[in-house]
Structure 1
Amino acid sequence: MRSDAQFNRLRILEAAAEVLAAPGDTTLKSIARRAGVGQGTLYRHFPTRESLVLEVYGEEVDELVTAVPALLSTLRPPLALRAWLERLLSVGTRTPEFADAMSGATGMLTKECRQAYRPLLDALAALLDANKAAGTIVPGTTADDMLLLLGPLWRVGADDEACARSGRLFDVLMRGLCPSGDTWEVTPGQ
């Protein structure tokens, strides 16, 4: 990548991080304006809003992706899935733009957009595959299904009452997905 293109990409990411962290106008137009680039330049680097948001939250995405092997090596598959989904929910609850981007992962996506989601979808698929192999998840469950089911939980809210409600709803979701009953409590060494 040319140095000016790399510079523009970094400016876009910095501007996006600032814009997404503040309340108010979080449109791509406002991000381009803050970065001092045209919308065409922004779209050349990030063809979709989701690809930009996932790049801004790249550290969180990397942590989620790299957590899978450790979870699967230390917890039974349904507990590993639960622990990972709780992390994903936490990121989405703290950062609504991330939750919105993840909710978009379940639609009809372009190749470029699907590529932005690939690491998270692959991580989730590995957890689902481990549960399928162990016979601990409802057959046919896909990563897309999981993200679609999580969408409403991100919108419950972040205050104490909403967090308690979200926790109850998450328990219902896990009981339905992993009816074997061993997904309720994650304790070290399980």
Structure 2
Amino acid sequence: MNVTAVEPFSADELLDRLRAVRLRGFPDVRPYADAQLELRSVDPDALAPPQRYVLAEGVQTMRDLRVALAPHGLDPLALSGGAFITVDGDRIPVIPPIVEESHEPDGRVTDVIADGLHRVYAARTLGLPITVILARNLPREYPYYALALPDGWSGVTELTELPDGFQKKTYRNPDNYKSLFRQYNELFPGVQEQRKRSNPTHLRA
């Protein structure tokens, strides 16, 4: 991995951009606009994964990125803001994982990982804390689109590839689960990677 340029930006710019994120099914709704947002270093075990898998290649990429950014004075596990970096000719954003306070149907209140699961998983395997964007006081009517796994990290499987028919998450609204999807790519192009569609056919809307 060859990092040829690093363009850092401040925490204020990072959070200001995040406040403009829209929902796919409700384009006029910005769930972070009035939320309490802060950067905080946390224990990965304190965070709730909503996704049943990580890809081994993605986890290794996070580890390689950490090594590649070290000479530039940037640690993707301990960011004080964000950065656009140029890697092998591609300009991509590096921001902390986004974590939301989530009210689960069973009454639990969890800090669910809305973006950046592979980065959190990599920190966890390295035994290191990770700096995240923690979002609290979001509008209850527009929650994160998937539920926290009831068995936490023990419910996450490391895979080499996604098998067909593998249901990635448990969705709050299975009939229209993408409506609550946070469109981070609109403001941080490339931060959300499109992965293989593997969900059962009734969830491939």
TM-score range, shorter chain: under 0.3
Larger radius of gyration: 1
Q: Hey, which of these two has a bigger chunk of strand by percent?
A: 2
TM-score (norm 1): 0.27
